[in-house]
């Protein structure tokens, strides 16, 4: 319950937050979906493709003697891969070609840091109620995340509607 209270503003009540019977139930549902050979093969292809993009980026930086932030690049690679596998959406944060994706990625990264800061900030609940300091920043980042995800959902619904209309 303590952990759930701290992280639920960002992660909700899903598999990343729950425990006990609810977690077992959600994990059972998710593991069935992720155990299919087609999904495993597809996700392997996506991760491999993004690993190649990462290798090209690091090789280019090395050849040009440019300092890079590997943690940031690894996070972007993971985020791009997870979005492609999980949502069928090219986030392209590694290439830096989509401004809204980059904004989302930065907001998600900062929101994660701010949520975990709650473990050491004994006044985080007061700050949340007053919407000040780190909690005000967290709220803004969560709004960016929510807006981006809602935009993706809208795009997916439109794609599905258009496909359905084409089939008729």
Nearest to 54 by CA among 68, 66, 40: 68
Q: Which domains does the chain have, with CATH numbers?
A: 2-167 (1.10.630.10)
Cα–Cα separations (whole angstroms), residue 53 to 47, 58, 61, 102, 139: 10, 9, 12, 16, 33
d(CA 134, CA 127): 7
- Residue 62 is classified by DSSP as H
Q: Is 109:78 a contact under the CB 8 Å cutoff?
A: no
Burial class (CB in 10 A: 0-12, 13-18, 19+), 107: buried
Residue 33: per-residue pLDDT:
67
Q: Is 89:46 a contact under the CB 8 Å cutoff?
A: no
pLDDT tens series, the chain, 168 aa: 778 889 999 988 776 777 778 878 877 777 766 667 778 888 999 999 999 999 999 999 999 999 999 998 998 999 999 989 988 888 889 888 788 988 999 999 999 999 999 999 999 999 999 999 999 999 999 999 999 999 989 988 998 888 877 776
What angle separates helix 99-117 from helix 133-167, to the nearest 10 degrees?
140
């Amino acid at each position: 319950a303590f952990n759930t209270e701290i992280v639920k503003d960002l992660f909700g009540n899903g598999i990343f937050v729950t425990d006990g019977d609810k977690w077992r139930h959600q994990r059972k549902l998710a593991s069935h979906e992720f155990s299919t050979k087609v999904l495993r093969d597809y996700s392997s292809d996506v991760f491999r493709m993004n690993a190649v993009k990462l290798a090209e980026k690091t090789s280019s930086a090395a050849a040009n003697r440019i300092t890079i932030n590997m943690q940031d690049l690894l996070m972007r690679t993971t985020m791009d891969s997870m979005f492609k596998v999980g949502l069928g959406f090219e986030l392209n944060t590694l290439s830096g070609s989509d401004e809204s994706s980059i904004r989302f990625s930065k907001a998600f990264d900062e929101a994660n840091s701010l949520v975990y800061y709650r473990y050491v900030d004994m006044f985080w609940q007061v700050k949340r109620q007053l919407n000040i300091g780190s909690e005000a920043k967290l709220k803004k980042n969560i709004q960016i995340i929510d807006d981006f995800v809602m935009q993706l959902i809208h795009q997916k619904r439109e794609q599905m509607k258009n496909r359905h209309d084409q089939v008729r």
